[in-house]
Amino acid sequence: MNKSINHQFFFPNPPKAVWEYLTNSELMDLWLMKNDFQPIVGHEFQFRTGPKPDYNFDGIVYCKVLEIVPFEKLSYSWKLGPGDGIINIDSVVKWELKSKNEGTELVLEHSDFAIMENLLIFNSMNEGWVKNVHKIIDRLNAASHGTINT
């Protein structure tokens, strides 16, 4: 199955502000999941959340940083499954940031689903990326209005 998730977002903030939410482990925890991310090519890390048995997901996403171009590009592998070393989703997440219209265009491509046994979780991830990136938008908007500290 060769499916991909593609989304485009606009932030009225500079790329550096958006980049921080994509590469700072503590900020990533606010909009995505608990993690041990470090912005170093080759770094292996995990995202952790509660298990979702209906989705055949044990709650751990295994990742490895593949590419970093500060304030422009970030990519990492994204693998998950039901546990016991079984992987049923093997994919890549790519973020691209571009200065545009006094803000930042953020493009997400979640692709290369080399193994894909669970369409239900694929659809959930597609919706989840939109929901979670909107958390970044909301936090940056609140910060620009002085209502939260980022």
**pLDDT digits over 84-102, tens only?**
999 989 999 999 999 999 9
Helix, strand, or coil here: 39? coil
Spatial distance between the Cα atoms of 64 and 129, rounded to a whole number of angstroms: 19
pLDDT tier, 148 (very low <50, low <70, confident <90, very high otherwise): low
CB 64 within 8 A of CB 75: no
Going along the chain from its start, the domains and CATH numbers come out as: 5-118 (3.30.530.20)
Going by C-alpha positions, the residue among 79, 84, 86, 85 that lies closest to residue 121 is 79
Spatial distance between the Cα atoms of 117 and 6, rounded to a whole number of angstroms: 19
Percent of the chain beyond pLDDT 90?
A: 82
- Partners of 46 in the β-ladder: 62
- Both tokens of residue 79? 């693998």
Spatial distance between the Cα atoms of 21 and 102, rounded to a whole number of angstroms: 18
pLDDT tens digits, one per residue of 16-64: 999 999 999 999 999 999 999 999 999 999 999 999 999 999 999 999 9
Q: Return mean pLDDT, the chain.
A: 93
Q: 119-144 vs 15-23: helix axis angle to the nearest 10?
A: 130
CB 64 within 8 A of CB 44: yes
What pTM does this model have? 0.93
The residue with tokens 């493009």 is 107
- On the question of pLDDT at 68 being above 70, the answer is yes
Q: What pLDDT does residue 121 have?
A: 87
* Residue 74 dihedral angles phi and psi, to the nearest 5°: -150, 135
- On the question of pLDDT at 145 being above 90, the answer is no
